[in-house]
Structure 1
Amino acid sequence: MTDDIDRAQAREAELLADALRDHARRAGLAGKTVADSAEFCQACAEDIPDARRRAVPGVQFCVACQARRERKGNL
């Protein structure tokens, strides 16, 4: 039973990594690093948390502002 769970968790991690890589490619973030990320949101000047900066290298907007941009069609 443990082996099945371990395999499922490994597969889930692979799928997540693939999805994040695809998202970065579509968003034009491929090859960007955490160092390329903004510390403050370009729209509202709020801090961008380190976790977001690591998860989305090259990020320039906080979650709220990015969501607004995506709703308006501005990626």
Structure 2
Amino acid sequence: MATGWAGDGAVQDQIDATVDDAVKRARSRMHKGPSLTHCEECEAPIPEARRNAVPGVRLCVKCQEAHDQEEAAFSGYNRRGSKDSQLR
């Protein structure tokens, strides 16, 4: 099958690289060390079940949800520039 300038498997390589970048970025944001007993933003107690489920947790559920929404607003862009993203 003719693929133009792209070699065999180039699309899959691009997908794999994008997934690898996302995993590395997520792992770099994970906290390490012991979980806090109280939220570092609002001082609300963090339940033991949450501390056991999420090692290194720093925020209560309410503050974590707000933090996640803020990050989603600044999620970035497709730096690899797929053809579809360039047409928009």
- Shorter chain as denominator, the TM-score bin is 0.5 to 0.7
- State the TM-score, normalizing by the size of structure 1: 0.54
Q: Which structure carries more helix by proportion?
A: 1
Structure 2 counterparts to residues 16-31 of structure 1, below 5 A:
25=27, 27-29=29-31
| Aligned counterpart, 1:49 | 47
The runs of at least 4 aligned residues of structure 1 exceeding 4 Å deviation read none
TM-score of the two chains, using structure 2 as the length reference: 0.47
Specify which structure has the bigger relative contact order, considering alpha-carbon pairs within 8 angstroms and separated by 6 or more residues. Answer: 1
Identical counterparts, % of pairs:
42
Gaps of 5+ in 2: 1-22, 73-88
**CA-based RMSD:** 2.2
| Larger-Rg structure | 2
Aligned partner of 1:61 in structure 2 is 59
